[in-house]
Chain A
Amino acid sequence: MATSTQRHRALGLTDAEYGLIVDLLGRDPGDTELAMLSLMWSEHCAYKHSKKLLRRLPTEGPAVLMGPGENAGVVDVGGGLGVAFKVESHNHPSAVEPFQGAATGVGGILRDVFAVGARPIAVLDSLRFGEISESERSRYLLEHAVGGIGHYGNSIGVPTVGGEIYFESSYEQNCLVNAMCLGLAPHERLIRAAAAGPGNVLVLLGALTGRDGIGGASVLASAELGEGDEAKRPSVQIGDPFAEKKLLECCLELLDSELLVSLQDLGAAGLTSSSAEMASKGGVGLDIDCSAVPLREAGLEPFEIMVSESQERMLCVVAPERVEEVIAVCERWETRATPIGAVNDSGRLRVLSDGDVVADLPVGVLVDDCPLYDLAPAPPQTRLYAPPPAALTGEESPGEILVALLGSANLASRRPVFEQYDPVVQSRTVRRPDDADAAVLALPTGEALAVAIDGNGRRVACDPRRGAAEVVYECAANLACVGATPLGLTNCLNFGNPEKPHVAWQLVEAVDGITEACRALDVPVVGGNVSLYNEAPSGPIFPTPVIGMVGRLADPARAGRLAFTQEGDAIALVGEFAPSAVGSELAKLRGEEIAGPLPLIDERAVQEAHETVRQLVGSGSVRSAHDIAEGGIAVALAECCVAGGLGATVALPEGLDPFAEAPGRAFIVSGSPEALAGLQVIGRVGGDELEVAGQLEVAVSELHEARERGLAKFL
């Protein structure tokens, strides 16, 4: 049996951290305590390397009802309703088993949303894999992750209304699966996680507890795992959307009936983190009786019960006189409800098993006393990312370049993916994937919500500060295209090993970039997630911040669309657009270096452009609006043509590179010549070709064909 010294190291605690624990407790921790502490003090749970940095993000705003720190952030949308939303990563499990990893990622983010009392009304996903044209493994990951997202989201009756997928060799060893969920709740039903009321009962809801996700903590097992016993410690958690559907309806009914004091979902580190967080927020203590926890199999040790990551479970606090009613509601929904403990005012988390105390820790040691580390950022001294192999010879005409871009995996139609998702269940969806740049969902108030998710890796790798700011601007631009004003955002920061100075630098720069953009647009961060240590022997992944943004628009019938639909319509360029080739999709196809500053961002000009487009769309003055992002203005025009089946004749401003990029800053709108009279008109809708004067002339059918096949041929 391993000695204490070796055990704590095997569990991921440093010698210094272990020493600190011993100091705080005044003794060595027992087995169960060590397991609990090693998880609560892990990067994943404690955000040791990122918490201090994340405090720079602006989190306040007039519409914010719940900010970071709760299960999900919530903003007010009028009519007494709040919208809860959050994005989370499930990167590492998806690399192991993409179907279940992605499925349980969706399951987890759904629980975070209904844990605050909101009914999940939409899911979006941001996925990143290696090059599917080269890598069979990445094709496999893509296919199965998409299958898993569809399986979970469709089965539970929550529409998947948007998302993004990108392919870069940087993600070959470390795929990214980020899932976002939005939920709706009347203000009165919103609930916080803080456990309160000494004497109240702790009730565990949902699935049986098994050995899922115990992983590294298994060194603490008192019995050696023999051969053939591996099956007892499943490394893959299997999601059960049917169980979660019942759990969800059950929880919402419990909340509508005002039967709960607080609610928390069980995610990473299972019972340990949920109970510790609840106790910490409430400033109370908790007693948990392991023997009362319903188990999937016999013989689980207390530490296994406390760290199990079995899915589809929630923890709630109930006044003793209401427990019977809670159990009755749960029975109706075929959901298990088991009292497993009680709230007290000790400020300690005690775990009992068959009457014996197997863990007794001050709540503070589990949560607040975990050390937070300062990053030691330093710009990279060497080139971090090798340029991709060139896919173009350099001899191509602009027309051929456009076709190549549209047919590239990063820009081609995502239809083969989103056709595997149900975008309409719950009857709120006003704009489906491919209709517009953001999804639009009707609210009972007569207004509507808009939501988009965007990320970038390659551009952030070139210039972390501006690249990260661009992600925020692009997301807001997507919302402007449907006529929506941003209310708040959630972020998922996917980075490499923060203990390495160049990664720390990327992280700090990116957070500062996001902060600047949020302040410029007056959009608060209401919650988010960090996924670190995404590294391969060859180095870190591209620094990849992913932003999910929610906005509000007054009239869903006026929600914008991106297609050119009317022969004779004028086409205008809105926004100050000074793009460059740095970090562009064309630069990738040309095999260029991943370096160089991105174009300057004129905050005032960006705000004005967004507001202009918002007004044009909201007033019904334009027939289409589309932001210019990857592939530059030529690709944006091509996308509008393909969507509407109509060509266009356009003359670009002098010197404007048709494929240069500056996301989030400029837009293409179409409408009657009278309506667009005051704008920078660049052409007309009509015919069956896209003609960019002096550059290219390509049949819309050819553009359509290239775009349809680009991704479909790999699935």
Chain B
Amino acid sequence: MLGGVSPTVKFGVIRFPGSCDEVDAQLACERVGEAVILWHGDHDLQGVDAVVVPGGFSYGDYLRAGAIARFAPVMVEVTEFARAGGLVLGICNGFQVLCEAGLLPGALLPNTTLRFIFRQVSLEVATSGSPFTRACAPGDRLSIPVKHTTGRFYAPDQELARIEAQDQVLLRYAPGHNPNGSLADIAGVCNEARNVFGLMPHPEHAVDPLTGSVDGLAIFESIAAHVADSVPAGGVPG
């Protein structure tokens, strides 16, 4: 819990038809702040400080994973929020939605094994210079589960070079832990402005010692810390 005069960070977790891990994300967010569910059909972010686009199978993964969800009414507000610098976290299907929406570079392709895979993997923090990993140190290992069929990160060569050069890779699969064939072992990337982050692993499933590792908390704590720093001194955000 943040102490002092910092107001509690408020997360908004989007629910699309077919979202599966939105309640899990809400529970994880509630460990560091407040969290509400945002209905896909409402043009209303309810004044949240950070938006989470959760995992699952929005619209059945029909056409392409995330291809239909990116056009949901609420995504208009999410896009505005992101362009204005608001924090947006996309987890698994959420990462797919953000790539389809053009808010993140690259795309997610079918796993090289062509099968769904659930596995607890080891991630390496590539940089702590982001609102999503500032609570970590570069080189930190995070044990977090992946569960997906379409998680292979891809970007054309030039784009990939730019992403790497600009330090937009925040998380990589540790050596030997790449479950899907992602280029350069990329597990999560942010945009150039560093306020939108997408990752295939599920940090919301690594926050409770009863059910697994707690290494995922660091990502939610990073967001909370960033939001707290952004609040004008002595004031409550309007």
Which A residues are within 8 Å of any B CB, using their own CB? 147, 150-151, 154-157, 240-243, 245-246, 332-334, 418-430, 442, 556-557
Contact = CB atoms under 8 A, between A and B. Distances in A.
A379 B210 CA distance: 51
B228 interface: no
A154 B208 CA distance: 21
Contacts of A430: 210-211
A426 B116 contact: no
6 contacts: A154-B57, A157-B57, A246-B17, A420-B115, A427-B24, A442-B211
Nearest to B26: A427
B118 A419 contact: yes
Contact of A422 (B17, B18, B61, B147): B147
Contact of A424 (B17, B27, B147): B147
A419 B119 contact: yes
B194 interface: no
Which 5 A-B residue pairs are closest in the complex by CB-CB distance? Answer: A157-B20, A242-B60, A155-B57, A427-B24, A422-B147
B145 interface: yes
Interface in B51-96: 56-57, 59-62
Most buried by A among B23, B60, B211: B211
A429 B208 CA distance: 11
Contacts of B210: 430, 442, 556-557
Contacts of A155: 18, 20, 57, 60-61
B138 interface: no
A420 B118 CA distance: 6
Contact of B205 (A154, A245, A427): A427
Given A242-B60, A557-B210, 14 more contacts: A154-B147, A157-B57, A241-B57, A242-B57, A243-B60, A245-B18, A332-B41, A422-B147, A424-B145, A424-B147, A424-B212, A427-B23, A427-B205, A556-B210
Interface residues of B, number: 29
Contacts of B49: none
Interface string B150-192: 0000000000000000000000000000000000000000000
B117 interface: yes
B27 A242 contact: no
Contacts of A420: 115-118
B116 A424 contact: no
A172 to B, nearest CB: 25
A598 B14 CA distance: 56
Contacts of B23: 426-427
A333 to B, nearest CB: 7
A431 to B, nearest CB: 9
Interface in B184-210: 202, 204-205, 208, 210
Nearest to A423: B118
Contacts of B212: 424
B118 A241 contact: no
B114 to A, nearest CB: 10
Nearest to B149: A154
Nearest to A442: B210
A429 B211 contact: yes
A419 B117 contact: yes
Contacts of B221: none
B24 A241 contact: no
B21 interface: yes
Nearest to B39: A332
Contacts of A245: 17-18, 20, 57
A242 B211 contact: no
B211 A424 contact: yes
Contacts of B61: 155
Interface string B10-22: 0000000111110
A104 to B, nearest CB: 15
A649 to B, nearest CB: 31
Nearest to A150: B116
Most buried by A among B62, B145, B147: B147
A141 B118 CA distance: 21
Given A333-B17, A420-B115, A557-B210, A427 B27 contact: yes
A157 B56 contact: yes
Most buried by B among A332, A425, A556: A425
Most buried by B among A420, A426, A427, A430: A427
A424 B60 contact: no
A151 B116 CA distance: 8
Contacts of B115: 147, 420
A242 B20 contact: no
A334 B16 CA distance: 11
B205 A424 contact: yes
Contacts of A332: 41
B17 A242 contact: yes
Contacts of A423: 118
Contacts of B18: 155, 242, 245-246
Most buried by A among B57, B61, B116, B119: B116
Contacts of B21: 157, 425
B57 A428 contact: no
A430 B209 CA distance: 9
Most buried by B among A240, A418, A422, A430: A422
Given A420-B118, A424-B145, A156 B205 contact: no
Interface string B201-236: 010110010111000000000000000000000000
B67 to A, nearest CB: 14
A332 B24 CA distance: 22
A430 B56 CA distance: 21
A147 B113 CA distance: 13
B24 A426 contact: yes
B28 to A, nearest CB: 8
Interface string B96-136: 00000000000000000001111100000000000000000
A423 B20 CA distance: 13
B208 A427 contact: yes
Contacts of B60: 155, 240-243
A560 to B, nearest CB: 14
A150 B148 CA distance: 11
A155 B61 CA distance: 9
Contacts of A240: 60
Nearest to B41: A332
A154 B211 contact: no
A442 B212 CA distance: 12
A150 B61 CA distance: 14
Contact of B59 (A147, A151, A242, A418): A242
Nearest to A243: B60
A151 B115 CA distance: 10
A430 B19 CA distance: 22
A120 to B, nearest CB: 12
A403 B117 CA distance: 28
A333 B21 CA distance: 17
A470 to B, nearest CB: 31
A501 B148 CA distance: 49
Contacts of A428: 211
A333 B39 CA distance: 11
B57 to A, nearest CB: 5
Contacts of B117: 419-420
B147 to A, nearest CB: 5
Contacts of A442: 210-211
A332 B208 CA distance: 33
B66 to A, nearest CB: 14
Nearest to B27: A427
B53 to A, nearest CB: 16
Nearest to B207: A427
A207 to B, nearest CB: 13
Contacts of B19: 157
A239 to B, nearest CB: 11
A339 to B, nearest CB: 24
A510 B187 CA distance: 52
Nearest to A448: B210
A240 B62 CA distance: 11
B46 to A, nearest CB: 18
A150 B212 CA distance: 21
